[in-house]
Amino acid sequence: MNSQQPYSRHADISTQKVSELIAREPLSCPPSTSVAEAARIMRDHQVSSLAITQAGTGTLLGILTVRDLTHRVLAEGRDHSTKVHEVMTADPASLPTNALGSDILHYMLKNKVGHLPIVDHGHFVGMITQTDIMRFHAVSAAVLLTDLAKTDNVADMASISKHIPSLLVQLVGANHTHEVITRLISDIADTITRQLLKIAEAQLGAPPAPYLWLACGSQGRQEQSGVSDQDNCLFLDNSVSSDDMLYFSQMAHIVSDGLNACGYIYCPGDMMATNPYWCQPVRVWREYFHNWSVTHEPASQMLASVMFDLRPISGTSSLHRDLQAETLEMASKNSIFVAHMIANSLLHTPPLGMVRGFSPLRTGPHRGHLDMKLNGVAPITDLARIHALQGRIPDVNTRARLQAAQEAGIISTSGASDLIEAYDVIAMMRLQNQANMIKNGLEPSNYLAPGDLSGFERNHLRDAFIVVRTMQSALSNNYSALR
């Protein structure tokens, strides 16, 4: 299999000709068209913009968007018979068909526009929109997923997974939100895992008992970025025998080794299904959680937090579903356990200095940098997990947890809104920094140099950190009340 060629057309929008990016046939109307008719054309074709061209010549005269109809027609109280030439944007900027995708991205970002006409020797030939750009990237991710689903060997999967960094750069460059980017990247890890499980079953034969492979950590929360190790475990049916364990041990090694070959390095903490501790029947997992909930030690709280971030990837999902409901109910009723979980969640704090500045790392190879994982997204992830525990919320995704906690009344509307916005800022800056590192030929990491940010960005990041610290303080007060 040639692992490079399938992505030459899809992977890098910046090098694509504009003519290859036009998603539909040109749609236009003459300047004498009424705004009512123009609106009907846009509605019927499900588009948000319309080119205004000279009848007979196709010369581009202007552009009309849904925003124009709102701001220049409805808001101004104009009659529906108003001609489009009276409200259109005349002589709009355009690009020729031989321009590159990088020209589109540059112009849209610089001028904050969502529609860009394309012309060929003065004649309108099509429209490029932000939706087209998003569709292009979605197709890129879909191509990776489709090709992964067709593979039956680790070498091909490893070749395909090498495109993940460029996909991250493209998604960040297209201004996708962080939850979209991390979801797509997590979907790729999920697909690789499922294919590796198929390979394992093909090599080992049918499993001797029902099983469920689960992801934890960032993959479990569907929040993987450009830097990911593997965190996983196996839930086995209680009917499994001691003789059957060899099968699942071999399965775990096939999958874990395959993930490592695809760039998901072995977990430094050995939190993987290859570790017998993390490959057990459900009855043992139930005992684990009971012991963690009554043993109030830091290690127990850390292990318990893992339980709440598990997400089934492949197998018999009921092996986890019932236990998840049990543990949420049991844990939420145990005030001492909740208090210790809160204390554990407050160990990671935002890197704020004494005088509204940052407090970067002072020693080590990343001295002078901010750890955007441990001191950035992790404190918010921990807060969201606690709120999910308090509200018995089954979601494991951080943003989904915060939204559900708001709806359940666990967090105030204003508090949830502020924390979600802070999370969006921190998580997005983390991804932007990783994308910049990849573009500069570096291995992406979680370390950000404050000096690389503009003053505007530094202010926003600092404000986001302050929100997180404020929410941690409020949670700490609750912890004091529980003790």
DSSP 32-68: TSBHHHHHHHHHHHT-SEEEEE-TTT-BEEEEEEHHH
The span from the CA of 332 to the CA of 346, in Å, is 18
- Helix-then-strand count for the chain, H and E: 19, 13
Residue 220: both structure tokens together: 């479990």
The pLDDT, as a whole number, for residue 28 is 94
Are residues 327 and 307 in contact, defined by beta-carbon separation less than 8 angstroms?
yes
For residue 296, the SS3 value is coil
The pLDDT, as a whole number, for residue 356 is 64
Rounded to 5°, the CA angle 182-170-12 comes to: 140
Residue 321: both structure tokens together: 């579903």
Count CA within 13 A, CB hemisphere, residue 143. 20
The span from the CA of 437 to the CA of 366, in Å, is 14
The span from the CA of 479 to the CA of 483, in Å, is 6
> In angstroms, what CA-CA distances link 324 with 92, 93, 321?
56, 55, 5
For residue 450, the SS3 value is helix
Residue 326: both structure tokens together: 């049990």
Rounded to 5°, the CA angle 253-255-261 comes to: 100
For residue 266, the SS3 value is coil
> Own/partner pairs for 291-296, CB < 8 Å, 24+ apart?
293/330, 293/331, 293/334, 293/337, 294/337, 296/336, 296/337, 296/340
Q: What phi, psi does 353 have (nearest 5°)?
A: -90, -175
Residue with tokens 């971030």: 309
Are residues 317 and 237 in contact, defined by beta-carbon separation less than 8 angstroms?
no
The span from the CA of 183 to the CA of 200, in Å, is 25
Helices assigned H by DSSP within 112-153: 130-150
**H or E element that contains 461:** helix 455-482
Distance of CA 465 to the CA centre of its chain: 20
Residue 5: both structure tokens together: 């060629």
The pLDDT, as a whole number, for residue 183 is 93
Reading the chain (483 residues) residue by residue, the pLDDT tens digits are 333 333 333 345 666 778 767 777 789 999 999 999 999 999 999 899 999 999 888 999 999 999 999 999 999 999 999 999 999 999 998 988 888 888 888 788 777 788 999 998 888 999 998 877 776 665 578 888 888 989 999 999 999 999 899 889 878 877 789 999 999 999 999 999 999 999 999 999 999 999 999 999 999 999 999 888 999 999 999 999 999 999 999 999 999 999 999 999 999 999 999 999 999 999 999 999 888 877 777 777 778 888 899 999 999 999 998 898 888 888 888 888 888 888 888 889 999 986 668 999 999 999 999 999 999 999 999 999 999 998 999 999 999 999 999 999 999 999 999 999 999 999 999 999 999 998 888 999 999 999 999 999 999 999 999 999 999 998 888 766 555
Going by their DSSP bridges, the two strands 279-281 and 232-236 should be labelled as parallel
